[in-house]
Copies of this chain bind each other. A is one copy, B any other.
Amino acid sequence: MSRNFASILIPTMHTAQVIPISPQRLKIACSECSLRELCLPVGLSEIEVERVETLIGGRRRIKRQHPLYRIGDPFDAIYAVRTGFFKTEVLADDGREQVTGFQMAGEIMGMDGIVTERHSCTAIALEDSEVCAIPFMQLEQLAREIDTLQRHFHKVMSREIVRDQGVMMLLGTMRAEERVAAFLLNLSQRFATRGYSPTEFVLRMTREEIGSYLGLKLETVSRTFSRLHDEQLIEVRQKNVRLLDIPGIRRLMRHECD
């Protein structure tokens, strides 16, 4: 039974098949986990890890299509995805929505709420999911005491800012085919990091959600998938995707130089 911070770092259910972990070895496994840098700083003493574990507010299960938090909700915690898959989306005044990201195991959500103490986006589970809530006041308290935790948290926020820059690049300069290619490669890389196949995975989101994220209409996403398929770069059947030629897909993105 693991409802502590360390456990979010450690792939449980999903990756149990890939990296078997006995329950009593959780902390050790954390230090061996290839994802550790996503969630916990390296170099914590055992005592410090224990303190971090006490900080976790608790685990929350979110059913598919249900929100973890909504725009306007009071902010009091950030969340680490334990299992499952989320999307975050923002809302324009006129009602238009835009998916700003997809979050998977080991990733942190909710930092948008710090500035106004209300969430500025909505996080919705794309499949039955589980998160660890990390009460923000307590996180700040502990960050004041543990340098490496403080630094780590700052890196997590910074990584989010850098990720956003990448999305801007994608939305601002790429054409449809490049966007879809970048999206697939990004997913592939993130799955690989977590020990899953980088070439074969399931899209938890609809074409419309992909389109929203990529600034395209769902029809364009669908057509682009079909085109990549015609070019023998991918195989798609519904939500199942197989990347047949990753170098080829990567090449698409450099195609339109300058």
Chain A interface residues toward B at CB < 8 A: 90, 92-98, 100, 111-116, 120-121, 140, 143-145, 147, 150-151, 154-162, 164-169, 171-173, 212-215, 253-254, 256-258
Instruction: Please list 8 pairs of residues, one from A and one from B, whose beta carbons are closer than 8 Å in the complex, sorted by A's number.
Output: A112-B161, A114-B154, A115-B162, A116-B162, A121-B165, A143-B144, A164-B167, A167-B168
Residue of B nearest to A216 (CB): B172
Minimum distance in angstroms from A138 CB to a CB of chain B = 13
Contacts of A156 in B (CB 8 A): 115
Further 16 A-B residue pairs, CB within 8 A, beyond A116-B162, A157-B161 = A92-B173, A95-B257, A96-B169, A112-B161, A112-B162, A114-B155, A114-B157, A114-B158, A115-B155, A120-B162, A140-B154, A144-B144, A144-B147, A164-B168, A168-B171, A172-B215
Copies of the chain in the assembly: 2
Contacts of A100 in B (CB 8 A): 165, 168-169
Minimum distance in angstroms from A225 CB to a CB of chain B = 19
Minimum distance in angstroms from A181 CB to a CB of chain B = 12
Given the contacts A121-B165, A253-B94, A150 and B157 also touching, CB distance less than 8 Å: no
Contacts of A115 in B (CB 8 A): 155-156, 158-159, 162
How far, in angstroms, from A199 to B168 measured CA to CA in the complex? Answer: 28
Minimum distance in angstroms from A164 CB to a CB of chain B = 4
Contacts of A160 in B (CB 8 A): 161
Secondary structure at the A interface, as helix, strand, loop or mixed, is: helix
- Which among A120, A158, A164 has the highest number of chain B CB atoms within 10 Å? A158
Given the contacts A144-B144, A162-B120, A92 and B169 also touching, CB distance less than 8 Å: yes
How far, in angstroms, from A215 to B92 measured CA to CA in the complex? Answer: 18
Contacts of A113 in B (CB 8 A): 158
| Pick from B90, B151, B154, B155: contact of A168, CB under 8 Å | B90
| Pick from B90, B159, B165, B173: contact of A96, CB under 8 Å | B173
Minimum distance in angstroms from A77 CB to a CB of chain B = 14
Asked if A98 and B257 make an inter-chain contact with CB atoms under 8 angstroms apart, the answer reads no
Contacts of A155 in B (CB 8 A): 114-115
